[in-house]
Chain A
């Protein structure tokens, strides 16, 4: 009897201990999530990726840009509610005064704007933001020690800036095209007109940083931000970041009208109550970096997050209808839905530098190669690609002007994205292509299940025109960095990439096919069409106008006719947020400014 007891005790003791631990733990502790007062209004936001640096010079992706534009001030931002996007002064007092020749921009910054208090400043007191800080911040991009990812925005654009770098990047040396006329006046002198300049001044890259902090923290400035934005950083690590309200942020009453409010589309969001209040409306923003779809969804359903971009794998459990996307009734009681078309597109480029598929010294072979590319494009089944990988709610369009831009032609010819197997087979046979002499297609992608599935789907599309499966080979790379190295070195025959627009202007996608931008530049197709290049140069200095739009559409046609890229699709993102959060979330590259307008509402005052 005692033996049995001994064994039972021996067996059950750990189980009992665990049960006690569970019972203790199951009593939820009072949330002690923040250091602020108990009435903090918290907004919890999920990102599906993480920034590695908070230095504006490294704000190259959506995640980093979102944090940069909230911790720092940019001269301009985008109106919260206006679609298409429209610029709005932020740190600047007004829109820039531009000289008649479009070369000189004069910008006044607002008075009484201060950096947050930080030990980097004398006595730890944040000082006023000056025009010279902006000059310094732009110069930093051209200092090799910064390892900036944003210099390309102003490279070859501003008088004397490239030379400043070539002369050793001495900050005491002036740049003729970047001048602080006084503490509040900035003057930028361009080499040639650059109508997109103001857009670049709304990017995280252009955020204003204080020199004292950069010097004091050195490389660690990337994780110790010191800015003048609506929030300041409380913590940052691989799983998330906590931003708290910058108590010294300028108080500017919120105006629905000024932010581009559209009553027809936005009336239900509950934004009217925000009128005349001064953003930021949240005391604290908790940003969770959750790359794993299941974890992100579980956290949202459990009420730990206010907002998520719904993983495609969950669309079935969320949507009642696809066109337009609507929420299932049981979810609609608790959440709001936003169907947001991405400001960018996914496309697969042919490497025109590869003689097997692209340009060839022999004109006949070049013509045959073009026919081959066109046949491949005709065989590509966009509806199926959309259905399988984008839940059928992506927007397929021909060419390189995405639907979200003002230059997009909604009534244009859609035949280039319509599958035409007979036409493809006819092209091949007329140009002497058959299974025996078709070249091996090397299709590159970074290693992942989805990418592999896309490759297999591509191979199945090509099988329908008689392209032998063994002649379509995968080129897999362990990481995206390795893949980028390969295609930037022109080693990949077919390159699939997604382009997220840096600013809402089709010029940003036109430059993807501009000859001088060939690899290692952004033109990974290595397309080089003289007429396209001429039009690009001519349009580059033009303000948006019907004439410029016509030129862009003409260039778009060239890319389609030359069969340079299998393009394209803009993905529709499904955004969900709690109904009582009064806000219009934005997940585009230029959308990070919405944090300051996110209102957690009365129920956001406590951790749930």
Chain B
């Protein structure tokens, strides 16, 4: 009983810390929406009216406490820009981001693990050098360049013209695959290098441990060594990496992917809120991301115990 309580307390502190820092940034350094919402030739009185409507005239502490209270009661309010309820915006856009990012996220990690294992298995040999070299190359290419190049290659008459350049008219599996393929390839290409490098390092470290040498001495085949001993014993860092990426995938989405492929996900909504100073949306995204991190942290701890009995 002590463990969940301690975790919950730490989680609460984390949420309060994240929300406070982000709120300071929003209020003191974020865009002031007053002048975006004002009409032309505004008078001082009209400026004061808009500031009042936006709550800018309230004391900082009161605004922060209101924010925290709203977050914990899930009263997310309405967007200052569109007037739409923030909960409705998130309910509409978060599933789109999830559907958009999930295949790339899963494939990127699976392929990263596979390539990392292959490189670790042949450490120092040409396979390792090739995979490591390609990983660094992949990491060096800008996400934007990858997106535009794939669009041109796969979606325009200059290339294969197989897929749509943009849009998200998803009604069934074929239409989903049709729209998600190029974004997925972009995501895989941009993350594969990072994933491969990370997993290779994990596997190399694991492969040099005593129990692996013992297994090899017992005559375990290389495949069994890698699958059963190295991979299984590396699950803790793998789980950590995967789990802590989930909130970013679900809530933050990918701004570039959504912008360039015209996909109405939560990443673009969050970005627009940041650049326009739409605080209700921003507060919800930041707050919910913090809460999601806390929940993921608790789930991760539970998974650690599942895969490694030594974790107390």
A residues sitting closer than 8 Å to B (CB atoms) are 3, 6-7, 10-11, 13-15, 18, 21-22, 24-29, 31-33, 52-53, 55, 60, 144-145, 147-152, 155, 218-223, 237-240, 288-292, 294-295, 298-299, 301-304, 478-482, 484-485, 488, 511, 517, 520-522
Contacts and interface: CB of A to CB of B under 8 A. Distances in A.
Contact of A219 (B84, B175, B259): B84
A592 B162 CA distance: 33
A554 B173 CA distance: 67
Contacts of B276: 52, 479, 481
Interface in B59-87: 78-79, 81-85
Contacts of B78: 219-220
A485 B54 CA distance: 15
Interface in B15-57: 29, 31-44, 47, 49-50, 53
B124 interface: no
Contacts of A223: 82-84
A52 B269 CA distance: 11
30 contacts: A3-B222, A14-B111, A22-B181, A25-B162, A25-B180, A27-B174, A147-B53, A219-B78, A219-B83, A238-B268, A238-B272, A239-B264, A240-B264, A288-B262, A294-B260, A295-B151, A295-B261, A295-B262, A298-B152, A298-B165, A301-B156, A301-B158, A302-B164, A302-B165, A304-B164, A479-B275, A480-B36, A485-B34, A520-B42, A520-B47
B39 A521 contact: no
A155 B37 contact: no
Nearest to A304: B165
Contacts of A52: 79, 81-82, 272, 276
Contacts of B42: 152, 488, 520-521
Interface in B272-287: 272, 275-277
B83 A481 contact: no
B175 A29 contact: yes
Given A28-B178, A238-B269, A288-B166, A7 B223 contact: yes
B304 interface: no
B35 A488 contact: yes
Contacts of B85: 219-220
Contacts of B83: 53, 55, 218-223
B221 A29 contact: no
Contacts, number: 194
A55 to B, nearest CB: 7
A479 B169 contact: no
A344 to B, nearest CB: 13
A297 to B, nearest CB: 9
Contact of B37 (A32, A149, A221, A292): A149
Contacts of B263: 239
Contacts of A480: 36
A498 B41 CA distance: 16
A6 B224 CA distance: 10
Given A7-B118, A220-B84, A481-B33, A522 B111 contact: no
A201 B166 CA distance: 37
Contacts of B92: 237
A240 B269 CA distance: 13
Contacts of B2: none
Given A29-B175, A32-B175, A295 B259 contact: yes
Contacts of B155: 298, 302
B262 A485 contact: no
Nearest to A57: B39
A517 B158 contact: no
Contacts of A488: 35, 42
A201 B58 CA distance: 37
Contacts of A290: 166, 262
Contact of B39 (A55, A148, A484): A148
Contacts of A292: 259-260
A483 to B, nearest CB: 9
B166 A299 contact: yes
Given A237-B264, A240-B262, 20 more contacts: A7-B223, A15-B111, A21-B181, A29-B174, A60-B39, A144-B53, A150-B39, A219-B78, A239-B258, A289-B262, A292-B259, A294-B151, A295-B166, A298-B152, A478-B31, A479-B31, A479-B275, A480-B36, A485-B32, A485-B35
Contacts of A479: 31, 275-277
A482 B31 contact: yes
A10 B115 CA distance: 9
B224 to A, nearest CB: 9
B110 interface: yes
Contacts of A53: 81-83
Nearest to B221: A3
Contact of A147 (B50, B118, B172, B177): B50
B31 A25 contact: no
A304 B268 contact: no
A308 to B, nearest CB: 12
A522 B174 contact: no
B133 interface: no
Given A151-B39, A219-B83, A299-B165, A520 B118 contact: no
Interface string B145-158: 00010011001111
Given A238-B272, A481-B35, A222 B169 contact: no
B270 to A, nearest CB: 10
Contacts of B88: 220
B163 interface: yes
A520 B168 contact: no
Nearest to B113: A14
Nearest to B275: A479
A148 B40 CA distance: 10
Contacts of B31: 478-479, 481-482
Contacts of A151: 39
A32 B109 CA distance: 32
B200 interface: no
**Which interface residue of B39, B151, B158 has the most chain A CB atoms within 10 A?**
B39
A517 B151 CA distance: 48
A294 B150 CA distance: 12
A149 B39 contact: yes
Given A148-B39, A220-B85, A298-B151, A10 B118 contact: yes
B230 to A, nearest CB: 13
The 4 closest A-B pairs by CB, nearest first: A219-B83, A222-B83, A237-B264, A25-B177
**Which interface residue of A3, A55, A223, A239 has the most chain B CB atoms within 10 A?**
A239
**Which interface residue of A18, A292, A301, A302 has the most chain B CB atoms within 10 A?**
A302
Contact of A481 (B36, B152, B223, B258): B36
Contacts of A239: 166-168, 258, 262-264, 268
A13 B118 CA distance: 13
Given A18-B107, A53-B81, A239-B268, A147 B114 contact: no
Given A53-B82, A223-B82, A10 B262 contact: no
A144 B54 CA distance: 12
B84 A32 contact: no
A304 B169 contact: no
B161 A302 contact: yes
